[in-house]
Amino acid sequence: MTDLSPLGALIAAQDWAGAERLLRAAATAPNAPAAVFYNLAKVLEAAGQDAERRDWLQRAVAADPGYAIAWFELARAALAEDALEAAQDGFARAWALAPQDGDAALSLARVALRRGDWAEALRAAQPLGPLAEARAIRYRALCETGQRAAAQEEMAALLAVPNARPHALKALTRVARGRLPLRLPAAGG
């Protein structure tokens, strides 16, 4: 097994070439741990060498299917390639493995929304509470699934918070079907 103890110092010094050499050597070992593949993918990303990143992340989740952060990064890589179905699957797996990961839930909700998967967008945005973007996602999903009363509650909550209004207006225009409210509540509530 390759001694990985210098890895932290190489990363701190942003010596991506040195870190890559060390991790590639470690990756050749039989039964190399998923963390080696994951870290190699992250080093390649930091070095601007994205071509192999997805392959190394796939090796990480093959070595450890329960490695949530690798699923998250694999989904990010898929999203960068505009592979929305693969991105949604990766974010869903990351969130299932780490239900406390709000970033995975929000990323899943965003991708599901883009794909028109209203039920999944709503499910992922639900535990994110009063987060403005999550409320906007819930509003859109509720509108698209015909749940008008619940949608109006989400929109009222969004409009009541002045700094959340950009999310509210964007969501309103997406589902407006030609009708927008002409009056917004006063900034004080």
pLDDT in tens, 160-171: 988 888 888 888
Residue 110, Cβ density class (10 Å: 0-12 exposed, 13-18 middle, ≥19 buried): buried
pLDDT in tens, 23-34: 999 999 999 999
Count of beta carbons in the 10 Å neighbourhood of residue 176: 12
For residues 169 and 174, give the distance between their C-alpha atoms in angstroms, rounded to a whole number.
9
Q: How confident is the model at residue 185 (pLDDT cuts 50, 70, 90)?
A: low
Q: Please report, for the chain, the start and end positions of each structural domain, with discontinuous segments joined by +.
A: 1-61, 65-116, 129-176
pLDDT exceeds 80 at position 181? no
pLDDT exceeds 60 at position 89? yes
Between residues 184 and 1, which one has the greater pLDDT?
1
The mean pLDDT value of the chain amounts to 92
pLDDT computed for residue 62 by the predictor: 97
Query: What pTM was computed for the model?
Result: 0.86
pLDDT computed for residue 69 by the predictor: 98
pLDDT computed for residue 15 by the predictor: 96
pLDDT in tens, 114-139: 999 999 999 999 999 999 999 999 99
Q: How confident is the model at residue 61 (pLDDT cuts 50, 70, 90)?
A: very high
CA distances (Å), origin 175, targets 120, 121, 145, 166: 18, 15, 11, 15
pLDDT computed for residue 187 by the predictor: 60
pLDDT computed for residue 188 by the predictor: 59
pLDDT exceeds 90 at position 176? no
